[in-house]
Amino acid sequence: MPTEPDGTMTGTGAGALLSILRDGRARTRAELTQVTGLARSTVSQRLDALLAQRWIVPADDAVSSGGRPAVAFAFNHGGRVVASADLGVTHARVALTDLAGTLLAERTADLSIARGPVATLGWVVDTVGALLAEIGTERSRLCGVGVGLPGPVEHATGRPVNPPIMPGWHDFPVPEWLEARLGTPVLVDNDVNIMALGEHRAARPEAEHLIFVKIGTGIGCGIISERRLHRGAQGAAGDIGHIRVTSAGDVICRCGNNGCLEAGAGGGTLAARLRAAGLEAAGSRDVVRLVRGGNLLALQLIRQAGRDVGDVLAALVNFFNPAAIVLGGDLAEAGEHVLAGVREVVYSRSLPLATQHLTISTSDLGDRAGVLGGALMVIDHVLAPAAVDRTVT
């Protein structure tokens, strides 16, 4: 049966039965009766309820033990679809997945978050509709939407709170606004949190403790602790971009303070320094383009940005002792150039025991980490035993 970390059962309803079948293995009534310890009649009742809502389907192969073959049941991962939107400062991605997190369709756009919530979220609504039409799926099969925003999000309400790079978004009711137009539950989180969730679950499930660092226009990190996303008391955990670093000096940050990591090493700052040197660089992606083109100043700036990020991460490594640090975001596309700066400082300034088995690498999922994480966040919510139980009663 599904259990909590202390080993206690989470329930005996239809949702708990579905949790067992989510591993992808088909099971018969007899097998489920044995696993759960429930009466066969109770298991049959739960299965009938799940079948009626198409949470499960009969498996293709019947299981024979010498007599009449017994029907096996499997999780219907294609029975519903999930939408996910990863909204960055300057670009956005929307995707649809099935209930196993398999990507079905996606669309990207250069989209400034500074356009404000109505224009930005209106694009999300239109794009979700277009993607549903693209895969030939009715909107009634959409069971949830996950959204990642590039700023602080109060986890309990899903509302942005004084986001320094999102003018007009403070306290905007993102979940309610989208739910009214899409007719389905909406979950909202900080973009780097959903990136951390996606990277961990889809690419590095073996890592119990992981830090995902997004280095783009802004800088932040998502924290996986004991294989769970750690958000903190209000959802503000991981906002490392506004930790003071000596290399940033007295540079004023968009948050109003000076000397923040983001103000010294963020993509916008690096692009501004390149423009001051007469180079064409509107943002983070142009910085990476110049790095890949071998521009000496861009190479120097990205290496120093890596050192600055490494300076903050060295303290986190000593404090949190992660097994892996993963770099994502636009500037992480500079690859070894930024990795070298991060590794240089982290390995030299963290405790030997903390770095003994520590890996520091770039994201395996790249730009898709956010939309996959957003989808997984929704899937966990929709398929929670209590939530499933509500759909079958």
Residues with Cβ < 8 Å from 211, sequence gap 6 or more? Answer: 196, 221, 222, 223, 224, 313, 316, 320, 322, 324, 325, 326
Rounded to whole angstroms, what are the CA distances from 238 to 213, 233, 234, 358? 9, 12, 12, 19
Q: What superfamily does domain 205-363 belong to in CATH?
A: ATPase, nucleotide binding domain (3.30.420.40)
Q: Is the pTM value of this prediction over 0.95?
A: no
pLDDT score, position 61: 56
CATH for 81-192+370-392 is: 3.30.420.40
161: burial class by Cβ within 10 Å (0-12, 13-18, 19+)? middle
Q: How far is CA 145 from the centre of its chain?
A: 13
Beta carbons within 8 Å of 169's beta carbon, 6+ residues apart: 113, 116, 117, 149, 151, 160, 163
Burial of 364 (0-12, 13-18, 19+ CB in 10 A): middle
b/e string for 89-103 if b means 16 or more Cβ within 10 A? Answer: bbbbbbbbbbbebee
Q: What is the rounded average pLDDT for all residues in the chain?
A: 93
pLDDT at 90 over 50: yes
User: Rounded to 5 degrees, what are φ and ψ at 11?
Assistant: 160, 170
Q: Is pLDDT above 80 for 64?
A: no
Q: How far is CA 178 from the centre of its chain?
A: 19
* Lookup: tokens for 356: 């003994």
Mean pLDDT (whole number) for 315-337: 96
**In the chain, where the domains are located:** 14-75, 81-192+370-392, 205-363
Residue 171 is predicted with a pLDDT of 97
- The band of 1, judged by pLDDT with boundaries at 50, 70 and 90, is very low
pLDDT for 4 equals: 40
pLDDT tens digit sequence for 185-238: 999 999 999 999 999 999 999 999 999 999 999 999 999 999 999 999 999 999
Is the per-residue pLDDT at 67 higher than 60?
A: no
Domain 14-75, architecture per CATH? Orthogonal Bundle (1.10)
pLDDT above 60 (res 348): yes
Mean pLDDT to the nearest integer, 66-73:
73
Check residue 6 and give its pLDDT. Answer: 33
Per-residue pLDDT, 194 = 97
Lowest mean pLDDT among 251-260, 272-281, 334-343: 251-260
Rounded to an integer, the average pLDDT of 374-382 is: 97
Q: What is the pLDDT of residue 111?
A: 95
3-state secondary structure 199-240: HHHHHCCCCCEEEEEEECCCEEEEEEECCEEECCCCCCCCCH
Domains 81-192+370-392 and 205-363 share a fold: yes
**Residue owning tokens 């309803």:** 13
Does position 69 have pLDDT exceeding 80, yes or no? no
Amino acid residing at 41? S
pLDDT of residue 255: 86
Name the token pair of 299: 């190479």
Among 270, 283, 290, smallest CA distance to 334 is for 290
